[in-house]
């Protein structure tokens, strides 16, 4: 509860990062399903508490560079086809356009063949070529499975270079300006439509009080829209009575006879009857009953060739390996002689391109082939004149007729300039700053470490810019030379040489100016002050040293005569010439064997090197050096030895008593047949003999 499923993880409603996927702040339905997905995601039809709610428009379920998408209309038709992704892209990132549901480079051959026109540069198509159908911002190949699921071939017509639909296959979609559009979308109000097509259009009027919409092949068209305007020039009721032939003869006017009204029909419509009027034709001809063959041949003969658009996307010939190539070289499958229109052939004939900019800056379309512009030119329309120069050059226009523009180099340090003079720079190259005297005006480019025109350079700076504010000029450093560090004192930025690299093991910071001596060690290591080195075991730093966790240093023990310190006030073991004189587990005092002043009730002996405490709990220590005798009580070792001897003697005596007493009783019993002899009956017993 309170979470939704997303690609194998559970995300909280209203929490991060779930809020970047789902717009729901709470699970209002209580089903653990996101009901409203954010941009770049689309609600999955199979969403559940254990299935992803929002499908990503990019990645495995979508396509790279996709910003917005919709559910693929083929989803569920063939579960075994792994190539069918669950989403179709409808809007791509800038620089890409959607073709057949995936994002392609704007300059690619496939995008150019599809005729995708991104009128606003926002990553979606508004127009497609004759072999493609527009649907939700993407161009689809008319003979592809997706286009067939949008509008079947028998319901497709070709008018003025566009593929239009007469009857839409998707539920709730109808032809609006020839494009299958969802009912209720903008501009669809007032039309009478059902079962994928329309029978009547809105009576809305234009500003000229003439009908705005007309019915054309099962769809409603807007005369104020470019396509509608290119088809019809006169509307009566909701019928187009006069075709607009200024765009060519993809549509023709059938002049009505008697009660039959005039109609505007597609040029190869097989159902045309009546009078056929052809602009610019040798004469007005009477067409019998049906147009049929005449529509495809006679009309083409009467007007310019290729008036009717190509019905299908162009297909590269079999055996040709160059995409978009209309005719490969006879000698090589990777060399193209001619590309399909509007593609442009690369200069080496190895590629067909949608735009010469696909090769980068500095190319132009030279009669169907991409050729290089003149030297140092980024943009040009031909090889004779330039419209934009590369960085560090400026345009110089000649007085010739027509005028020619060539690229000339700016002065050193200028990345953009107005002319070749030193003070005409408008932008500087890396390593220079602009010394303009007035904001927004050109000036001179000076190296970052040099002074110029009231600006003070910064030594060892390699990337900088000049700032002028309230009459004050300043150079701001963005990057220092390798091996130097930026330092900001609050007013100015300078480049300082860093301290030499520290060479001490386990050292976090060396002493300033000395890379062989440490000031602070890394965590887990301790500073040995005597050597300015780092160690993990303070015993290596010297006798009686311990690790001070707070200081991160090895400190001397505060307990006299301590060999190994636990802390400053606790000793693990005393030196060989001293003994612990405290009852603690951690010794807090060590008495020197020769310490006659004493401590804690104990005193040492003059000249003694090795000693021990006695069992008296105080007094003089027992010296274990040769030449000393015990006094003042036994030492702890002596006492222990005596106790052991006494115990051994008692044990032996007890065993002998048992052996002789019980052994003799056993013999007496066997002689007299009695079980035992009582000493209480006056019988005497010789203990001395018994012991013997």
Same domain, 485 and 511: no
* Cβ atoms of 141 and 113 closer than 8 Å: no
Percent share of the chain, pLDDT over 70: 80
Alpha-carbon gap, residue 190 to 413, rounded angstroms: 65
The residue among 341, 372, 399 that closes a domain is 399
Q: Pick the residue with more confidence: 429 or 253?
A: 429
557-607 tens-digit pLDDT: 888 888 888 777 778 888 889 998 876 655 678 899 999 998 888 899 999
Q: Give the 3-state secondary structure of residue 640.
A: helix
For the cut 90, the answer to whether the pLDDT of residue 124 exceeds it is: yes
* Cβ atoms of 590 and 579 closer than 8 Å: yes
Query: Of 311-315, 443-447, 489-493, which gets the smallest average pLDDT?
Result: 311-315
* Cβ atoms of 379 and 386 closer than 8 Å: yes
SS percent in the chain: helix, strand, coil, step 5: 15, 35, 50
Same domain, 575 and 546: no
Residue range 221-229: mean pLDDT, rounded: 91
Tokens representing 511? Answer: 């002493």
**Among the listed residues 383, 366, 365, the one whose alpha carbon sits nearest the alpha carbon of residue 374:** 383
Same domain, 338 and 424: no
Q: What is the pLDDT of residue 277?
A: 40
Q: Pick the residue with more confidence: 472 or 250?
A: 472
C-beta neighbour count of 215 within 10 angstroms: 21
Q: What is the pLDDT of residue 284?
A: 38
Residue range 183-201: mean pLDDT, rounded: 91
For the cut 90, the answer to whether the pLDDT of residue 684 exceeds it is: no
Alpha-carbon gap, residue 116 to 99, rounded angstroms: 8
Q: Look at strands 619-620 and 602-603 and give their pairing.
A: parallel
**Among the listed residues 142, 190, 208, the one whose alpha carbon sits nearest the alpha carbon of residue 176:** 190
Same domain, 361 and 212: no
Is 144 within the bounds of a domain? no
Same domain, 505 and 476: no
DSSP structural state of residue 680: G
What's the half-sphere exposure (Cβ side, CA atoms, 13 Å) at 414?
A: 25
DSSP structural state of residue 599: B
Is 270 within the bounds of a domain? yes
Backbone dihedral angles phi then psi of residue 258, each to the nearest 5 degrees: 65, -125
Is 596 within the bounds of a domain? yes
Query: Of 237-251, 382-396, 463-477, which gets the smallest average pLDDT?
Result: 237-251
294-322 tens-digit pLDDT: 333 333 322 333 334 445 677 888 889 99
Alpha-carbon gap, residue 573 to 546, rounded angstroms: 13
CATH of the domain at 381: 2.10.220.10
- Degrees (nearest 5) of the Cα angle 356, 359, 360? 100
Same domain, 222 and 248: yes
Backbone dihedral angles phi then psi of residue 444, each to the nearest 5 degrees: -105, 145
Alpha-carbon gap, residue 616 to 619, rounded angstroms: 7
Prior bond to 279 cis, omega within 30? no
Is 185 within the bounds of a domain? yes
Is 78 within the bounds of a domain? no
Alpha-carbon gap, residue 179 to 125, rounded angstroms: 12
For the cut 50, the answer to whether the pLDDT of residue 670 exceeds it is: no
3-state SS string over 107-133?
A: CCHHHHHHCCECCCCCCCCCECCCCEE
Q: 460: phi > 0 → left, psi -120 to 50 → alpha, else beta; which? A: left
* Cβ atoms of 566 and 585 closer than 8 Å: no
C-beta neighbour count of 94 within 10 angstroms: 12
Q: What is the pLDDT of residue 295?
A: 32
* Cβ atoms of 559 and 590 closer than 8 Å: yes
Tokens representing 145? Answer: 């499975």
Alpha-carbon gap, residue 147 to 72, rounded angstroms: 12
**Among the listed residues 450, 451, 449, 446, the one whose alpha carbon sits nearest the alpha carbon of residue 459:** 449
Q: How far is CA 323 from CA 110, 112, 311, 327, 632, in A?
A: 8, 12, 19, 11, 112
503-537 tens-digit pLDDT: 899 998 888 878 899 999 998 999 999 999 999 99
* Cβ atoms of 495 and 460 closer than 8 Å: yes
Q: What is the pLDDT of residue 273?
A: 40
608-661 tens-digit pLDDT: 999 998 888 788 889 998 888 765 444 444 545 555 666 787 877 777 777 666
The residue among 639, 658, 684 that closes a domain is 639
Q: What is the pLDDT of residue 634?
A: 47
Alpha-carbon gap, residue 182 to 169, rounded angstroms: 11
Count of structural domains within the chain: 5
Same domain, 306 and 389: no
Residue range 326-354: mean pLDDT, rounded: 91
Same domain, 167 and 271: yes
Is 94 within the bounds of a domain? no
Backbone dihedral angles phi then psi of residue 4, each to the nearest 5 degrees: -125, 155
244-291 tens-digit pLDDT: 766 455 666 655 555 555 667 665 454 444 434 433 333 334 333 333
Q: What is the pLDDT of residue 310?
A: 40
Same domain, 307 and 329: no
Is 426 within the bounds of a domain? yes
Q: 360: phi > 0 → left, psi -120 to 50 → alpha, else beta; which? A: left
Q: Give the 3-state secondary structure of residue 534.
A: strand
Q: Look at strands 578-580 and 590-592 and give their pairing.
A: antiparallel
683 pLDDT tier (thresholds 50, 70, 90): very low
Complete DSSP assignment for 34-94: -SSBPTTEEE-TT-BTTB-SEEESSGGGS-TTEEEEEE-TTTTT-TT-TT--SEEEEEE-T
231 pLDDT tier (thresholds 50, 70, 90): confident
Alpha-carbon gap, residue 133 to 139, rounded angstroms: 5
Q: What is the pLDDT of residue 532?
A: 94
Task: Give residue 443's domain range.
Answer: 414-490
Same domain, 210 and 309: yes
Residue range 211-227: mean pLDDT, rounded: 92
398-426 tens-digit pLDDT: 888 888 899 999 999 999 998 888 788 99
Tokens representing 613? Answer: 């405490």
C-beta neighbour count of 379 within 10 angstroms: 15
CB-count exposure of residue 356 (10 Å: 0-12, 13-18, 19+): buried
Q: What is the pLDDT of residue 249?
A: 54
Is 134 within the bounds of a domain? no
Q: What is the pLDDT of residue 299?
A: 35
**Among the listed residues 104, 111, 144, 150, the one whose alpha carbon sits nearest the alpha carbon of residue 127:** 111
Alpha-carbon gap, residue 540 to 550, rounded angstroms: 19
Instruction: Out of 9-23, 226-240, 312-326, give the one with best mean pLDDT.
Output: 9-23
Q: Pick the residue with more confidence: 131 or 179?
A: 179
Tokens representing 632? Answer: 């003042």
Q: Give the 3-state secondary structure of residue 679.
A: helix
Tokens representing 463? Answer: 């990337």
In sequence order, the β-bridge partners of residue 173 are 182
Same domain, 214 and 270: yes
129-170 tens-digit pLDDT: 878 999 999 999 998 999 999 999 889 888 877 889 999 999
Tokens representing 138? Answer: 């993407």
Tokens representing 691? Answer: 């012991």
Instruction: Out of 94-103, 183-192, 235-244, give the one with best mean pLDDT.
Output: 94-103
Chain centroid to Cα 682, Å, comes to 114
Q: Give the 3-state secondary structure of residue 520.
A: strand
**Among the listed residues 335, 340, 311, the one whose alpha carbon sits nearest the alpha carbon of residue 325:** 340
* Mean pLDDT for all residues in the chain: 81
Alpha-carbon gap, residue 176 to 185, rounded angstroms: 10
Alpha-carbon gap, residue 497 to 477, rounded angstroms: 15
Q: What is the pLDDT of residue 257?
A: 53
Same domain, 303 and 365: no
Percent share of the chain, pLDDT over 90: 42
441 pLDDT tier (thresholds 50, 70, 90): confident
Q: Pick the residue with more confidence: 676 or 355?
A: 355
Alpha-carbon gap, residue 20 to 9, rounded angstroms: 14
């Amino acid at each position: 509860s309170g979470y939704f499923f997303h690609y194998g993880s559970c995300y909280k409603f209203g929490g991060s990062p779930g809020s970047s996927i789902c717009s729901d702040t709470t699970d209002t339905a209580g089903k653990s399903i996101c009901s409203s997905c954010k941009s770049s995601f689309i609600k999955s039809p199979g969403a559940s508490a254990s299935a992803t709610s929002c499908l990503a428009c990019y990645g495995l379920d979508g396509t790279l560079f996709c910003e917005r998408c919709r559910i693929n209309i083929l989803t569920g038709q063939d579960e075994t086809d792994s190539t069918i992704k669950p989403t179709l892209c409808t809007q791509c990132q800038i620089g890409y356009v959607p073709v057949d549901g995936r994002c392609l480079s704007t300059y690619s051959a496939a995008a150019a063949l599809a005729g995708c026109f991104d009128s606003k540069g926002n990553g979606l198509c508004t127009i497609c070529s004759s072999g493609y159908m527009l649907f939700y911002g993407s161009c689809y190949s008319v003979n592809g499975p997706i286009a067939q699921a949008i509008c079947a071939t028998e319901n497709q017509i070709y008018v003025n270079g566009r593929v239009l639909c007469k009857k839409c296959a998707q539920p709730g979609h109808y032809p609006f300006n020839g494009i299958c559009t969802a009912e209720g979308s903008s501009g669809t109000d007032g039309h009478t439509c059902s079962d994928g097509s329309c029978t009547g259009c809105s009576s809305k009027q234009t500003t000229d009080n003439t009908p705005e919409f007309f019915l054309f092949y099962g769809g409603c068209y807007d005369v104020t829209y470019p396509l509608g305007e290119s088809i019809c020039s006169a509307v009566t009721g909701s019928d187009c009575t006069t075709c607009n032939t200024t765009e060519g003869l993809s549509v023709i006017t059938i002049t009505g006879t008697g009660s039959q009204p005039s109609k505007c029909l597609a040029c190869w419509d097989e159902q045309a009857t009546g009078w056929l009027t052809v602009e610019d034709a040798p004469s007005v001809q009477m067409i019998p009953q049906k147009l049929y063959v005449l529509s495809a041949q006679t009309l083409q003969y009467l007007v310019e060739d290729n008036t009717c658009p190509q019905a299908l996307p162009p297909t590269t010939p079999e055996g040709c390996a160059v995409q978009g190539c209309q005719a490969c070289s006879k000698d090589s499958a990777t060399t193209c002689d001619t590309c399909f229109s509007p593609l442009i052939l690369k200069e080496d004939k190895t590629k067909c391109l949608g735009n010469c900019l696909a090769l980068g800056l500095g190319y132009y379309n030279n009669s169907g082939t991409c050729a290089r512009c003149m030297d140092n030119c980024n943009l040009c329309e031909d090889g004779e004149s330039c419209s934009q120069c590369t960085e560090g050059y400026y345009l110089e226009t000649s007085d010739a007729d027509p005028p020619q523009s060539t690229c000339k180099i700016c002065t050193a340090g200028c990345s953009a300039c107005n002319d070749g003079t030193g003070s005409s720079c408008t932008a500087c190259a890396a390593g220079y700053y602009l010394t303009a005297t007035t904001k927004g005006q050109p000036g001179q480019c000076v190296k970052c470490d040099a002074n110029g025109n009231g600006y003070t350079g910064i030594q060892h700076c390699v990337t900088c810019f000049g700032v002028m504010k309230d009459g004050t000029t300043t150079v701001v450093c963005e990057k220092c030379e390798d091996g130097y560090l930026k330092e900001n004192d609050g007013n100015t930025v300078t480049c300082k040489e860093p301290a030499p690299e520290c060479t001490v093991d386990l050292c976090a910071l060396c002493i300033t100016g000395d890379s062989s001596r440490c000031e602070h060690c890394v965590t887990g290591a301790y500073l040995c002050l005597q050597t300015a080195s780092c160690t993990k075991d303070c015993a290596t730093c010297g006798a009686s040293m311990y690790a001070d966790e707070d200081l991160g240093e090895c400190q001397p023990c505060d307990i006299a005569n301590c060999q190994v310190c636990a802390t400053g006030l606790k000793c693990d073991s005393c030196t060989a010439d001293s003994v612990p004189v405290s009852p603690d587990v951690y010794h807090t005092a060590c008495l020197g064997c020769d310490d006659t002043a004493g401590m804690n009730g104990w005193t040492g002996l003059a000249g003694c090197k090795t000693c021990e405490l006695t069992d008296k709990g105080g007094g003089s220590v027992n010296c274990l050096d040769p030449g000393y005798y015990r006094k003042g009580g036994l030492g702890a070792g002596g006492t222990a030895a005596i106790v052991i001897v006494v115990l051994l003697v008692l044990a032996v005596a007890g065993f002998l008593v048992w052996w002789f007493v019980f052994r003799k009783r056993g013999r007496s019993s066997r002689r007299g047949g009695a079980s035992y002899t009582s000493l209480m009956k006056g019988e005497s017993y010789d203990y001395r003999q018994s012991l013997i």
